[in-house]
Amino acid sequence: MKQLRFDIGDLQAMVAVVERGGFRAAATAINLSQPALSRRIDKLEDALSVRLFERTTRRVTLTVVGREFYAKAQEILASVENSLLSISDIAGRSGGEVSIACVPSVAYHYLPPVIAQFNAAYPNIHVKIIDEGANDVLHCVQRGEADFGVNFIGAQESDIDFDAVMSERFVLACRQDHPLAQRKSVKWREIDQYPYVGVARSSGNRLVLDQALAATEVRPSAAFEVRHVATSLAWVAAGLGVAAVPHLAMPTDGYSMLKAVPLVEPKVERTLGLLRKKGRKLSSSAQYLYDALKNKPPKPFQA
């Protein structure tokens, strides 16, 4: 029996030529020079002792045998890919680590149920959560310190793929016994009637608020300034004032002394999304977790 001397790269080259409609586009798509791509096709045709393509100065078309072999090549490549994914999945289930960088509100209220589902599927995978401010989350992903991140900034970064998951609005956080707690909504200009707990300029949430309010005359004057939203909520709970926070940051405990009231005029939202460094391929376990987070966004705020 004749030994066939070609490899996966040769099959990928042939499929690329067919899918891209020519050698030049195919060479660009698979990062080969045109001469190198041509050598791969020649090698494949020599190994099979058939001509796969009819070449003219204007176009490249498959021969009859080429059309039949193209279908086989697709099957072979799909089978190889499935086998590799299966091996990767087995390796992932036997151990390893998935690291996620996320803002604290995501770590508190978005991740736990998804992580529980993930742990059931991958019980031997160590999950590392890097819960930091928005800027630190972005930098962790850019430096490759996290497999991916969950954040509300990063969509404009050239080295980041940002996959939007949901939009969440900012709400007024106040105590249940506060005069504004029973309101259906509160206008931004009404906040100045009460002590306001703001976040520092280093906070990503402060940037979102400043940009949203820049075109208005609304400028809440902070009686207190803290670095983190969680701190502002603790101060609100202590009766020191009110705060504007993203709804995911609000406690989900039914016995909480805090109340969330929609803020209007203007309505301010932030877009929460999954981000990863461009070109980074996730392990099977990390991809599982990424897809789970993408497909199960938190429920939008209900007043």
List the chain pLDDT tens, one digit each, 303 residues. 455 678 888 888 988 888 888 888 888 888 889 899 899 999 998 888 899 998 877 788 899 998 899 888 888 888 777 666 555 555 555 567 899 999 988 888 788 888 998 888 888 888 999 999 899 999 999 998 999 999 999 999 999 999 999 888 999 999 999 999 999 999 999 998 999 999 998 888 998 999 889 888 888 889 999 988 989 999 999 999 999 999 988 887 655 789 999 999 999 999 999 999 988 888 888 888 899 888 876 655 555
**In the chain, beta strands by DSSP E:** 53-55, 60-62, 97-102, 126-131, 148-151, 160-175, 186-187, 197-199, 224-226, 243-246, 258-264, 269-277
Given this model, what pLDDT does residue 2 score? Answer: 53
Q: Are 150 and 293 in contact (CB under 8 A)?
A: yes
Domains (range + CATH), the chain: 8-91 (1.10.10.10), 94-165+271-295 (3.40.190.10), 167-270 (3.40.190.10)
Given this model, what pLDDT does residue 83 score? Answer: 64
Which DSSP helix (H) or strand (E) runs through 172?
strand 160-175
Q: What pTM does this model have? A: 0.63
Nearest to 175 by CA among 301, 259, 232: 259
Distance CA 104, CA 230 (A): 8
Nearest to 191 by CA among 233, 222, 155, 225: 222
Nearest to 40 by CA among 64, 72, 7: 7
Question: Which letter, b or e, does each residue of 75-105 get, where b requires 16 or more Cβ atoms within 10 Å of its Cβ?
Answer: eeeeeeeeeeeeeebeebeeeeebbbbbbbb
What is the token pair recorded at 190? 């009404």
Q: Are 205 and 245 in contact (CB under 8 A)?
A: yes
Given this model, what pLDDT does residue 1 score? Answer: 47
Distance CA 196, CA 183 (A): 17
Distance CA 22, CA 59 (A): 7
Given this model, what pLDDT does residue 127 score? Answer: 92
DSSP state of 277: E
* Backbone torsions φ then ψ of 63, nearest 5 degrees: -75, 175
- Tell me whether strands 243-246 and 126-131 are parallel, antiparallel or unpaired: unpaired
